[in-house]
Amino acid sequence: MRHYVVTGGLGFIGSHLSELLLDAGHRVTIIDDRRTSVVDRIQGATIIEDDVVWADWPSDIDGIFHLAGPVGPVGVIEWSGKIVSQVVQAAERTATEARMNDCPLVYVSTSEVYGEQRQPVNEWAPRIISAGATARMEYAVAKLATETMLLNDLFLDVRIIRPFNVAGPRQSERGGFVLPRFVRQAKSGQAMTVYRPGTQRRAFTHVIEIASGIYEAMRRGRTKAVYNLGNPANEMTILDLALRVRNALGSDSDIEIIDPVSLHGNSFAEAPDKIPDIGLAQADLGFYPVMGVDAVIADLIAHEAGR
Ligand code: UDP
> Cβ atoms within 10 A of the Cβ of 307, count?
6
Alpha carbon 163 to its chain centroid, in Å, reads 6
Tell me if 204 CB under 6 Å of ligand 1. Answer: no
Q: Record the pTM.
A: 0.97
Best CA proximity match to 205, nearest among 121, 287, 142: 287
pLDDT values of the chain reduced to their tens digit, one per residue, 307 residues: 999 999 999 999 999 999 999 999 999 999 999 999 999 999 999 999 999 999 999 999 999 999 999 999 888 999 999 999 999 999 999 999 999 999 999 999 999 999 988 889 999 998 878 888 899 999 999 999 999 999 999 999 999 999 999 999 999 998 899 999 999 999 999 999 999 999 999 999 999 999 999 999 999 999 999 999 999 999 999 999 999 999 999 999 999 999 999 988 888 888 889 999 999 999 999 999 999 999 999 999 999 876 6
The rounded Å distance from CA 178 to ligand 1 centre is: 5
Tell me if 181 CB under 6 Å of ligand 1. Answer: yes
The rounded Å distance from CA 18 to ligand 1 centre is: 26
Report the C-alpha gap between 100 and 88 in whole angstroms: 18
CB-CB contact of 286 with 212 (8 Å): no
The atom of ligand 1 lying closest to the CA of 112 is 25
**Could you give the C-alpha distances from 218 to 27, 56, 99, in angstroms and in order?**
15, 23, 15
235-237 vs 201-203, strand pairing mode? antiparallel
Tell me if 276 CB under 6 Å of ligand 1. Answer: no
* AA identity, residue 301: I
Query: Which residues have a Cβ under 8 Å from the Cβ of 183 and sit 6 or more positions away?
Result: 245, 249, 297, 300, 301, 304
Tell me if 275 CB under 6 Å of ligand 1. Answer: no
